[in-house]
């Protein structure tokens, strides 16, 4: 072949550089195409601080809220597991809710704070997929966990005599395991489909973490069918728990209305009102994010709502369940008194 080229009058001095530049540009085109269509380049998170006039102050505030959420939920779990009087199905579910909230806030806030301190805004595709999977899994698990808690309150108030038998430890474990399983199935389905779409548009995710709707906006393919399926999936994920919660609390309100004891009525209402506050906070934000049409959404609104149920809700849950609950406050006073006794004994 080389001899044929020489006999044909080809000049190696001019041809080889042309071949070199041609192959180089084709390699660059292939690399660009692969980056655009396989999605293996890093995403850019716009973040919470891009629109803030005082990013340092906002960073400190989020860090304080993060510490409050971790310490509050960890303290609630410690109280429930250390106090025998709190070894009941209701507090078992509350401890699981606190565990979910601790994990929920830990998959987003630490990276947000670290990126702000290091002046970094990128996230790799594997990190984005892992964050998305954990986020959707924990969100789905919490939806079903709140439904299980409503069912537990229904059994305790409407069937008090059969409650210890119907809600034994084995049943509670099965309910919690089912919540985690359904949440993980939801996370696997949404994450695996979302991350297989080609991303050939801008790499900027207008959010502070990899949320499914925000990532889907970067896809260059037609996602209308998937968005419809995701909408139906989210409707089912919300409809089933909301139906369980609504039916449970309808029966609870009827039972409370028939109660003769004013003390029993007050205690039942106090317990159920705490749970209903958490339900309204969490489900209201979920309905906005996943069930309202895209015309109602803007990147700024989405981030505000996500801050509310991703960062603020994990802080509010232990406050709602502790300050409004005499059993928890009593266990906390007992723990503090024991700690004071040990300190005085050591002295």
Q: Into how many domains does the chain fold?
A: 1
pLDDT in tens, 72-117: 999 999 999 988 888 999 899 999 999 999 999 999 999 999 988 8
The answer to whether residue 27 scores a pLDDT higher than 50 is no
Instruction: State the average pLDDT over residues 146-169.
Output: 90
Instruction: State the average pLDDT over residues 58-77.
Output: 92
On whether residue 179 sits in a domain, the answer given is yes
The answer to whether residue 19 scores a pLDDT higher than 50 is no
pLDDT in tens, 263-295: 767 766 776 777 777 777 777 777 777 667 666
Measured CA distances, 259 to 97, 150, 254 (Å): 29, 19, 9
Among the residue ranges 224-228, 268-272, 280-284, 341-345, the one predicted with the least confidence is 341-345
Q: What is the CATH number of the domain that holds 129?
A: 1.20.1070.10
Sign of CA dihedral 321, 324, 327, 328: positive
On whether residue 283 sits in a domain, the answer given is yes
On whether residue 4 sits in a domain, the answer given is no
Looking at residue 2, its pLDDT comes to: 44
On whether residue 17 sits in a domain, the answer given is no
Q: What span, in angstroms and rounded, lies between the C-alpha atoms of 86 and 123?
A: 42
Instruction: State the average pLDDT over residues 160-185.
Output: 92
Q: What span, in angstroms and rounded, lies between the C-alpha atoms of 127 and 111?
A: 11
- ∠ CA 163-166-167, nearest 5°, is 75
- Listing from the earlier edge strand, what are the strands of the sheet with 43-45? 122-123, 43-45, 204-205
Instruction: State the average pLDDT over residues 221-230.
Output: 77
For the chain, percent of residues with pLDDT exceeding 70: 80
Q: What span, in angstroms and rounded, lies between the C-alpha atoms of 193 and 171?
A: 33
The answer to whether residue 7 scores a pLDDT higher than 50 is no
Cβ contacts of 286-293, under 8 Å, gap ≥ 24: 286/139, 286/143, 286/234, 286/238, 287/238, 289/211, 289/213, 290/213, 290/230, 290/231, 290/234, 290/238, 291/231, 291/234, 291/235, 291/238
On whether residue 9 sits in a domain, the answer given is no
**Contact status, residue 76 vs residue 318, Cβ threshold 8 Å:** yes
On whether residue 271 sits in a domain, the answer given is yes
On whether residue 8 sits in a domain, the answer given is no
Q: Note down the domain range covering 197.
A: 42-335
Q: What span, in angstroms and rounded, lies between the C-alpha atoms of 315 and 101?
A: 8
On whether residue 121 sits in a domain, the answer given is yes
């Amino acid at each position: 072949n080389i001899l044929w080229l020489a006999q044909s009058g080809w000049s190696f001095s001019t041809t080889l550089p042309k071949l070199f530049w041609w192959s180089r540009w084709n390699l660059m085109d292939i690399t660009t195409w692969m980056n655009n269509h396989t999605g293996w380049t890093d995403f850019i998170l716009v973040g919470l601080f891009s629109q803030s006039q005082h990013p340092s102050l906002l960073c400190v505030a989020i860090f304080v809220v993060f510490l409050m959420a971790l310490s509050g939920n960890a303290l609630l779990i410690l109280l429930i597991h250390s106090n025998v009087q709190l070894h009941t199905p209701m507090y078992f579910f509350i401890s699981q809710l606190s565990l979910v909230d601790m994990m929920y806030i830990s998959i987003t806030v630490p990276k947000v704070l670290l990126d702000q301190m290091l002046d970094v805004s990128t996230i790799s595709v594997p990190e984005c997929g892992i964050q998305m999977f954990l986020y959707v899994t924990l969100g789905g698990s919490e939806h079903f966990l709140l439904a299980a808690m409503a069912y537990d309150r229904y059994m305790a108030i409407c069937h008090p005599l059969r409650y210890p038998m119907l809600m034994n430890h084995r049943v509670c474990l099965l309910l919690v395991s089912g919540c985690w399983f359904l949440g993980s199935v939801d996370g696997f389905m949404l994450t695996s489909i979302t991350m297989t779409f080609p991303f050939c548009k801008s790499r900027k995710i207008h959010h502070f973490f990899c949320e499914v709707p925000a990532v889907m906006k970067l896809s260059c393919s037609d996602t209308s069918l998937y968005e419809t399926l995701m909408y139906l999936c989210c409707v089912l994920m919300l409809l089933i728990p909301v139906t369980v919660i609504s039916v449970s609390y309808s029966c609870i309100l009827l039972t409370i209305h028939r109660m003769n004891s004013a003390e029993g009525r007050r205690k039942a209402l106090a317990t159920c009102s705490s749970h209903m506050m958490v339900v309204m906070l969490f489900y209201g934000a979920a309905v906005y994010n996943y069930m309202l049409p895209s015309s109602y959404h803007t990147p700024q609104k989405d981030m505000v709502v996500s801050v509310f149920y991703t960062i603020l809700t994990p802080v509010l849950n232990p406050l709602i369940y502790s300050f409004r609950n005499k059993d928890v406050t009593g266990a906390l006073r007992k723990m503090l008194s024991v700690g004071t006794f040990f300190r005085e004994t050591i002295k």
